[in-house]
Chain A
Amino acid sequence: MTAEQHFQVALRLGDDAMILGQRLAEWCGHGPVLEEDIAMSNIALDLLGQARGYYSRAGALEGLGRDEDQLAFFRTDQEYRNHLLVERPNGHFGDTMVRQFLFDAFSLERTQFLANQTVDEDMAAVAAKAVKEVRYHFSHSSQWMLRLGDGTEESHRKVQQSLDDLWPYAGEFFVADDIDEAASLAGLLPDLSHVAHAWHARVSEVLIQATLQKPTTTWSQRGGKHGIHSEHLGFLLAEMQVLPRTYPDAAW
């Protein structure tokens, strides 16, 4: 594995957390009930914290003096390396929870490996803290899958539609490229085929309980990990980056 690939691994981890955190933060003040509003904001803040940890590591690996803020606020959409799923718009609450559920199940496998097995000690330290958070995120989004899937006729129909719509984006998690393969070989990241296996088992278990049909499509979206994004990411970044780009020296 090259130093550049090592940097890319940290960057991808940070970008997934950063973009999903920003998306969830959009719910702040708009949640269906106050308690859920706070829950989503808490999860958004957890993800922001994880992004900071991975960005700090990425900046150190890159060695060009870029810190977490520069990585977050001064890169364009084409320089972002997150999976396409996390940049999907929030849609209705069911859409958001399905997106969260599919990601949490993946993130849990990946973060557990990072916390326990990775060869990068700095990333392991970030993941050791994150893994407890992600465990809670997964339990939270799983609860909602059960409630919505096994709820009313309307909630079942809506959340099944969300699942069908977002499923192809989850497929991108498991499309390994040369960076994933090198990182897995070096013991930095888990083997994606193992992650896929565990992910399917985890997701299926909840979907069965939730009386939801697991989509059968095997076709998947791809491109995010190489900077090829949907048009939605540009708008998200414009909102997220406007302040530091307008006032680059702004401080709290």
Chain B
Amino acid sequence: MSTSAKEWPLWEIFVRSRQGLGHKHVGSLHAADAEMAITNARDVYTRRQEGVSIWVVPASAITASSPDDKEPLFDPANDKVYRHPTFYKLPDEVNHM
């Protein structure tokens, strides 16, 4: 994507839904500044009552892991089933697990 001076910077949008406990990434959009990013996010991503709260983050502020690092980062977890709490019996009163 070109980053000419004529184009607004890219923002990543996070929306907290009615039921959701955390903000969830919903997409990205262009805006001149944070205030406009909130306004645009409201119009683009919460038209169908999706949200009760919006976060906007400049896409340039996000550091992503490299796809080339996939194996060293994630594969070692494959054979460590004991890290999953599947061996416990959960009481019914416990929600959100």
Contact = CB atoms under 8 A, between A and B. Distances in A.
Interface of A: 33-36, 38-39, 42, 140, 143, 147
Contacts of B8: 33
Nearest to A40: B43
A35 B31 CA distance: 8
Contacts of B73: none
A147 to B, nearest CB: 7
B69 to A, nearest CB: 33
Pairs of residues from A and B, 3 with the lowest C-beta to C-beta distance, nearest first: A35-B40, A39-B43, A38-B43
B39 A42 contact: no
A35 B32 contact: no
18 contacts: A33-B8, A34-B29, A34-B30, A34-B44, A35-B29, A35-B30, A35-B31, A35-B40, A36-B40, A38-B40, A38-B44, A38-B47, A39-B39, A42-B47, A140-B39, A143-B35, A143-B36, A143-B39
Given A39-B39, A39-B40, A140-B39, A147 B47 contact: no
A140 B36 CA distance: 9
Interface of B: 8, 29-32, 35-36, 39-40, 43-44, 47
Contacts of A33: 8, 30
Contacts of A34: 29-30, 44
Contacts of A39: 39-40, 43
Contacts of B30: 33-35
Where chain A touches its partner, the secondary structure class is helix
A154 to B, nearest CB: 13
B43 A35 contact: yes
A147 B31 CA distance: 12
A36 B39 CA distance: 10
Contacts of B35: 143
Name the residue among B39, B43, B44, B47 with the largest chain A CB count within 10 angstroms.
B43
A39 B47 CA distance: 10
Nearest to B29: A35
B32 A147 contact: yes
B96 to A, nearest CB: 32
Nearest to A139: B39
Contacts of B32: 147
Nearest to A140: B39
Nearest to A35: B40
A33 B39 CA distance: 14
Given A35-B43, A38-B44, 16 more contacts: A33-B8, A33-B30, A34-B29, A35-B29, A35-B30, A35-B31, A35-B40, A35-B44, A36-B40, A38-B40, A38-B43, A39-B40, A42-B43, A140-B39, A143-B35, A147-B36
A22 B43 CA distance: 19
Nearest to B7: A33
A42 B36 CA distance: 16
Contacts of B31: 35
Nearest to A146: B35
A162 B46 CA distance: 31
A34 B29 CA distance: 9
A147 B36 CA distance: 10
